[in-house]
Structure 1
């Protein structure tokens, strides 16, 4: 069974919706979730998720607030919860302090796209291990096989394979990059491979997970949160429709 991972930005549409959204994702049949930590300069993200970051910050979302919200749903939301964010706010919070809080509130792993692998190896990896947190690196179609293997060796939980070299949510993303997906499948990686960026529906999900173990949907779900007053019904129907 292929795994479905749903991303949302914490703090949208309203500041205190985090727990409600996390429950919705779980109850609609997703296997795990990524929760985005809002940041003022989300460079890897397309306009939809950038708008979500802007709104979340305007709503007053902070790392501390997010930890409080996650603690409230620690017992009721039991599928894996992964925090995704940029390195700067995590560093400002204090890296070890951040990891300790993650462990306390039931977070199982982190994705910090701009944390350099060498820094992870020499400094931060052991802190993550201390708090039993997985860490996921990203690879793209341009990443060499040698580097894919290296990043896979550092990662735990899963390896995040970006479907194309663009920002999130691009309309013209080449989802079925046969060579790339075949290459990933042939490398005998230690982690399951999850494909992300550009998956909008069931057909996309089935397409990219033919040779991968899972898919990550972000922009299409965040769009529902931002654009629909009745996002709870629409979000549920959307996730159930993928699975």
Structure 2
């Protein structure tokens, strides 16, 4: 069974997912960061594949991605790091990046290396659902790698039904159309969107704008948990990542 399914079967609420870019702040920090996250009880980890033009990301993640690339991080090296780390890491691992990186690497090669290194799923925001279903779904399923799909406040009910049929693992519920790193503000329309998605027959996590214990707990009222990215990257940069994680529970 995929580790993502195992997680959501054993834990229904307050699932904490942390995002950080591979190779940040230093090239060989990926595995030590994973070990810290596991030690602090993080449930799920999203590892960013550094990309030179991350359109959905705010300035903090863009700067971190550039530094990781300058450090020499590559997809090939990331797979090597994860293969070395996997024996000590029990958490589900998800790679998050852009389709162009995967396509250049070679889809079959990418999926084979995901499987070899113990990756459980991927998030590819710029891969349309229709293209995935028509051209790549069979390959992903054969490899046992979940393609985690995103929904936004602008996703129509009809589109939501289509995504639900194709989704594996959980839905990434984008809180707003702003780039990452903002503060999540609640209103009746946004809460209605969260409730609509949470009624689907698949788990969901809320991302974008979750930055501390209070915002994590509030978001978890409307989903199975939430994702923290920018705030954790700031903590990594400041050298107080352990203190930050201690304050989330």
Runs of 4 or more, structure 1, over 4 Å off, are none
Question: How much does 1:154 deviate?
Answer: 1.2
Q: Contact 2:191–2:222 at 8 Å: present in 1 too?
A: no
**RMSD over equivalenced CA pairs, Å:** 1.2
- Flag structure 2 segments of 5+ consecutive residues without an equivalent: 1-12
Distance 1:9 1:197 in 2: 15
Per-residue Cα deviation, 1:187-231 (whole angstroms, up to 9, x for no partner): xx22201000010111101111102101000000011112x2xx2
Residue 192 of structure 1, aligned match among 203, 206, 220: 203
Question: How much does 1:98 deviate?
Answer: 0.3
Q: Contact 1:168–1:219 at 8 Å: present in 2 too?
A: yes
Equivalent residue for 1:236? Answer: 242
Question: How much does 1:185 deviate?
Answer: 2.7
Distance 1:113 1:175 in 2: 24
- Count of residues in correspondence between the two structures: 235
- Flag structure 1 segments of 5+ consecutive residues without an equivalent: none
TM-score by length of structure 1 reads 0.94
Q: Contact 1:164–1:175 at 8 Å: present in 2 too?
A: no
TM-score by length of structure 2 reads 0.91
Is 1:212 matched with 2:223? yes
Residue 134 of structure 1, aligned match among 136, 146, 166: 146
Distance 1:178 1:5 in 2: 21
Question: How much does 1:175 deviate?
Answer: 4.5
